[in-house]
């Protein structure tokens, strides 16, 4: 279903226009696709260029200008429910392509666009059916390369980075030195991760930084000492998980040595890493 | 020349949360410095067939040909390294195979695939791509996209019609302007980039970059750079946690050692010693 415009004045719907043409012109003169016979509207006021499912509005240097959602624009990429204003007239842009149309799934499928052929002519490329394995070349195993691990980029002493940024993607680190310094690096927040569930934290129980606490607000938080032992805590929609990253020793959770698999963390689990004990718990 | 000591490679491919089967295909050969990723499209299982054909043809042929001719040797006529010539030829071959299968078998009609393939040699990487599968590079703290999609959206961005910021809301995300196997011939885009020690290269299908922001991908690579395999799994997991609406595939390549082409007898001797 193509996008459409609803023309109204003073809340009174005058007309509904479907955007089928590549260029839809709007103006006072009769040759326009959408004619608005009002002196506040220029002869050739604006044009809407539609390319497949996207429409772009452009003001053609009109005397009184074009507003979208109350803001004057020269050029605008129209989003569904945008309200275009020309003088006292309003045009509401409706494009429920993504929501209705075909199934949203079909819509997301990659299709090829060839010059001179519309994607429709290409035939909808859908892929349901029985799954069948195709012999694909096996992916190579990582070669046992002599990896010298790079130190974590920004390792700040914990004491100076006590405040936990709640947004953004800045790196954040904390040292939890027992005898040697360890760092916790915490980058990135996916909106998803932050949006869901309760926030947990890690509190250091042993070593020089005993008592320190850090909220696990980001999608990934690395713990440990680069080059010696590093683990990562991932924040996922279904909860927190700890995974070994590097080093000969694996983390210990509640006295149990982990393997290479991600391990779900529960409230009050005790994590042991490079000789430092810490407690994982959910903030209330 | 065997590059398995110079390159560390990890890959991961997953059907995602929503789709029942995986139309992506990945292949890698660390010894030859060769990585290939394809994202197929087409009815029933045709997408899998197309991407599988692309990776198989290109990998097996190049493995064989790179054995015969060193990729760094320059082609006398044009002065381009053989790697580029070989890639161009094998991509054309894969294109023909897929196109003919699509023409002759009704169930494969209209199938095609995007492609990103890279050959590492002489401290360089030559990358060929068609469609919207991408190559990124993490160098130090800079994470950037090295390929430019062959897609309607990219064309709109290039022409200034929309900004990259607006592009995130476009309804035309999944229209590629080039694909392998759709037409009798295809023009791959090929570029060569010098590599540095510690660089991490990411090849991915659009299932990753549609679901996870470049910023988050870059951060993940930086954070988990010590464990490439885990980084690959984490990226796929993040795409799935964010909805996993498409198949998602990643290949990670880290440059761990110098791999300059042997030039004189002395360096050839040293390379033999390795």
Give me the CATH number covering residue B223.
Answer: 3.60.40.10
- Show the domain range for B48: 7-273
Helical H runs in A70-185?
Answer: 104-108
Average pLDDT, chain B: 90
Its pTM stands at 0.72
Q: What is the pLDDT of residue B264?
A: 63
CA dist list (Å): A183 to A18, A257, B133: 59, 21, 36
Of chain B, the percentage scoring pLDDT greater than 70 comes to 96
Pick the residue from chain A with its C-alpha nearest to B54.
A136
Using DSSP, state whether A21 is helix, strand or coil.
coil
* CB-CB under 8 Å, B228 with A142: yes
User: Could you say which of A122, A127, A232 has the minimum Cβ distance to residue B223?
Assistant: A232
* CB-CB under 8 Å, B141 with A119: no
What is the residue whose two structure tokens read 């914990």?
A158
Alpha carbons within 13 A on the beta-carbon side of A183 = 20
CA distance B9 to chain A (A): 5
Q: Is residue B212 part of a domain?
A: yes
Q: Would you give the DSSP letter of residue B80?
A: -
According to DSSP, the residues that pair with A271 across neighbouring strands are A253, A278
Helix or strand run (H / E) with residue B41: strand B34-41
Q: Give the pair of three-digit tokens for residue B264.
A: 């004189």
Spell B239-260 as b/e; 16+ CB within 10 A means b: bbbbebbbbbbbbbbbbbeebe
> Choosing among B140, B151, B175, which should be mutated to test the A contact, i.e. which has the most A CBs within 10 A?
B175
Of chain B, the percentage scoring pLDDT greater than 90 comes to 68
pLDDT at B179 over 50: yes
| ipTM of the prediction greater than 0.90, yes or no | no
Contacts of B250 by beta carbon, 8 Å cutoff, 6+ apart: B11, B12, B13, B202, B203, B204, B205, B208, B232, B235, B236
Q: Is residue B1 part of a domain?
A: no
Q: Is residue B29 part of a domain?
A: yes
Q: How many Cβ atoms sit within 10 Å of the Cβ of residue A209?
A: 23
Q: Give the pair of three-digit tokens for residue B234.
A: 């984490």
Residues of A in contact with B226 (CB under 8 A): 147, 149-150, 226, 230, 245-246
Residues of B in contact with A135 (CB under 8 A): 52, 56
Q: Is residue B163 part of a domain?
A: yes
In whole angstroms, give the CA distance from residue A6 to residue A93. Answer: 7
Of chain A, the percentage scoring pLDDT greater than 90 comes to 33
In whole angstroms, give the CA distance from residue A87 to residue A41. Answer: 6
Spell B173-191 as b/e; 16+ CB within 10 A means b: bbbbbbbbbbeeebebebe
Helix or strand run (H / E) with residue B216: helix B214-223
In whole angstroms, give the CA distance from residue A110 to residue A117. Answer: 15
Number of domains within chain B: 1
Q: Is residue B111 part of a domain?
A: yes
Q: What is the pLDDT of residue B131?
A: 94
What is the residue whose two structure tokens read 């490439």?
B228
Contacts of A89 by beta carbon, 8 Å cutoff, 6+ apart: A7, A8, A9, A36, A38, A41
pLDDT at A131 over 70: no
Are B5 and B120 spatial neighbours (Cβ–Cβ below 8 Å)? no
Q: Is residue B114 part of a domain?
A: yes
Q: Which has more confidence, B265 or A12?
A: A12
Q: What is the pLDDT of residue B268?
A: 61
B107-164, pLDDT tens digit by residue? Answer: 898 899 999 999 999 999 999 999 999 999 999 999 999 999 999 889 888 888 888 8
A3-13, pLDDT tens digit by residue? Answer: 889 999 888 88
Q: What is the pLDDT of residue B271?
A: 59
A140-154, pLDDT tens digit by residue? Answer: 334 443 433 333 333
Q: Is residue B146 part of a domain?
A: yes
What is the residue whose two structure tokens read 């494009």?
A95
Q: What is the pLDDT of residue B265?
A: 63
Q: Is residue B2 part of a domain?
A: no
Average pLDDT, chain A: 73
Residues of A in contact with B228 (CB under 8 A): 142
User: Could you say which of B30, B216, B222 has the minimum Cβ distance to residue A140?
Assistant: B30
B193-241, pLDDT tens digit by residue? Answer: 999 999 999 999 999 999 999 999 999 999 999 999 999 999 999 999 9
């Amino acid at each position: 279903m193509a996008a459409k415009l609803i023309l109204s004045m003073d809340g009174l719907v005058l007309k509904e226009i479907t955007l089928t043409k590549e260029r839809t012109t709007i103006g006072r003169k009769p040759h326009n696709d959408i004619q608005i016979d009002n002196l506040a509207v220029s002869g050739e006021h604006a044009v809407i260029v539609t390319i497949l499912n996207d429409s772009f509005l452009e003001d053609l240097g009109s005397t009184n200008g074009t507003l979208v959602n109350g803001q004057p624009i020269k050029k605008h990429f129209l989003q569904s429910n945008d309200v275009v204003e020309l003088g006292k007239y309003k045009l509401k842009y409706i494009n429920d392509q993504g929501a209705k149309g075909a199934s949203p799934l079909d819509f997301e499928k990659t299709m090829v666009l060839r010059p001179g052929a519309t994607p429709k002519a290409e035939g909808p490329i859908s892929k349901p059916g029985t799954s069948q394995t195709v012999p694909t070349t096996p992916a190579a195993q990582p070669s046992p390369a002599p990896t010298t691990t790079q130190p974590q980029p920004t390792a700040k002493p914990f004491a100076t980075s006590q405040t936990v940024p709640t947004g953004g993607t800045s790196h954040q680190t904390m040292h939890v030195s027992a005898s040697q310094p360890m760092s916790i690096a915490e980058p990135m927040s996916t909106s998803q991760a932050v949006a869901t569930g309760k926030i947990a934290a890690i509190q250091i129980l042993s070593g020089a930084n005993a008592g320190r606490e850090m909220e696990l607000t980001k999608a990934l938080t690395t713990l440990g000492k680069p080059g010696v032992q590093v683990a990562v805590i991932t924040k996922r929609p279904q909860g927190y998980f700890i995974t070994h990253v590097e080093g000969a020793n694996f983390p210990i959770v509640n006295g149990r040595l982990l393997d290479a698999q991600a391990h779900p963390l529960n409230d009050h689990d005790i994590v042991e890493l490079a000789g430092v004990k810490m407690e994982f718990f959910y903030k209330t | 020349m065997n590059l398995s000591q110079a390159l560390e490679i990890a890959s991961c491919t997953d059907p995602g949360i929503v789709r029942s089967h995986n139309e992506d295909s990945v292949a890698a050969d660390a010894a030859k410095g060769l990585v290939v990723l394809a994202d197929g499209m087409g009815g029933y299982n045709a997408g899998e067939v197309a991407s599988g054909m692309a990776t198989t043809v290109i990998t097996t042929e190049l493995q064989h040909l790179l054995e015969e001719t060193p990729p760094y040797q320059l082609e006398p006529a044009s002065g381009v390294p053989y790697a580029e010539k070989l890639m161009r030829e094998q991509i054309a071959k894969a294109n023909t195979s897929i196109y003919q299968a699509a023409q002759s078998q009704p169930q494969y009609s209209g199938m095609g695939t995007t492609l990103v393939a890279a050959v590492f040699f002489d401290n360089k990487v030559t990358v060929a791509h068609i469609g919207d599968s991408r190559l990124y590079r993490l160098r130090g703290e800079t994470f950037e996209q090295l390929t430019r999609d062959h897609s309607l959206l990219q064309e709109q961005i290039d022409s200034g019609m929309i900004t990259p910021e607006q592009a995130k809301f476009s309804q035309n995300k999944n229209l590629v302007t080039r694909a392998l196997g759709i037409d009798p011939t295809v023009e791959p885009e090929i570029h060569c980039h010098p590599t540095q020690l510690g660089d991490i290269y990411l090849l991915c299908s659009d299932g990753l970059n549609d679901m996870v922001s470049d910023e988050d991908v870059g951060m993940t690579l930086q954070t988990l750079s010590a464990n490439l395999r885990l980084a690959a799994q984490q990226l796929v997991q993040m795409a799935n946690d964010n909805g996993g609406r498409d198949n998602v595939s990643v290949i990670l390549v880290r440059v761990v050692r110098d791999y300059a082409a042997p030039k004189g007898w002395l360096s050839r001797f040293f390379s033999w010693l390795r």
